[in-house]
Amino acid sequence: MTIKEFFGCAFLAFGPAVSLFIFVVGREPIRVILFIASSFFWLIALLISSLLWFAVVPLREKLAFGLVFSVLFQEASRLAYYKLVQKAENGLQKMMQDGQAGADEDSKQIKFIKNHHLMALVCGLAFGMTSGAFALVNILSASVGPGTVGIHGDSDHFFITSSLLTFAFVMLNTFWQVISYAALDKKSYWQVGVVVIFHLLASCLTLLNNRDPPIYAATITPAYVLLIISGIWAFVVAGGSLSGIKAFCGF
């Protein structure tokens, strides 16, 4: 039973993200490179927030302190990676043009580099999957057993709730990256500010899970409301429309 729970929670949390990686990222080397680099920037944010938590001894027991600064460092690393990719864009195009691949392959890679929405999707997916892995791996390890969920009076919904929240944050980070990059391209900084507020709100609500008893509904419901809003917002800023959906579906 514990093995079934492990795979169920793992597929729930990472199934859609892994599918996106396989079909969108994994087929193109340049996308894999950007994916790995984006993951590295998220790890840098984690390292900096960990150092701050370690340095400020009196506040180590305050989860809210570490959480807020972790979110701010993640958003700063998102901005820093955007600046890096922006500066490297011309160099990446030249690298593709000077490469050994065929002309059609070069043209496809250059189009990807110029397509900031797709590039943001790749980078955001890296942010989300890396954060999700760090959030859920230890929990998944514990779910294998031995033991019975809830045997000591804890909630038997802990694992499924953790998986649902991990999925939400993986996709939220993906959408937020698309929104942020589009906003930075247009110098629409208020949208970047809204993304930061959304990130802080979704993250701070998870503190309710630390109560006794935990209030899972008050965490999951707003997270998925933000997920829907962010998904629609990202779809619109990437050039999507209702007529486009109808045309795609053949209506």
228 falls within a domain = yes
**Spatial contact of 48 and 69, defined as CB atoms under 8 Å apart:** no
48 falls within a domain = yes
Residues 96 and 113: their CA atoms lie apart, in Å, by: 10
225 falls within a domain = yes
250 falls within a domain = no
pLDDT digits (tens, 9 = 90+) for 155-214: 778 888 889 999 999 999 999 999 999 999 888 899 999 999 999 999 999 988 877 777
State which residues form the domain around 105: 2-240
pLDDT value at 154 more than 90: no
pLDDT at residue 233, as a whole number = 93
249 falls within a domain = no
* C-alpha distances in Å from residue 155, one per residue of 110, 135, 159: 51, 18, 9
246 falls within a domain = no
pLDDT digits (tens, 9 = 90+) for 143-153: 776 665 554 55
- For residues 25, 29, 32 and 37, what is the CA-based torsion angle, rounded to 10 degrees? -150
Residue type for position 227: L
Average pLDDT, integer, range 2-29 = 87
pLDDT value at 247 more than 70: no
Number of domain units in the chain: 1
User: Which are the contacts of 150, defined by CB distance < 8 A and separation ≥ 6?
Assistant: 156, 158
245 falls within a domain = no
| pTM recorded for the entire structure | 0.86
Helices and strands (DSSP H and E) totals, the chain: 9, 0
pLDDT at residue 89, as a whole number = 73
pLDDT at residue 97, as a whole number = 59
Residues 32 and 92: their CA atoms lie apart, in Å, by: 14
| Between 58 and 105, residue with greater pLDDT | 58
214 falls within a domain = yes
pLDDT digits (tens, 9 = 90+) for 26-80: 888 888 989 999 999 999 999 999 898 888 877 777 878 888 899 999 999 999 9
Pick from 192, 191, 231, 174: nearest CA to 75: 192
pLDDT at residue 130, as a whole number = 94
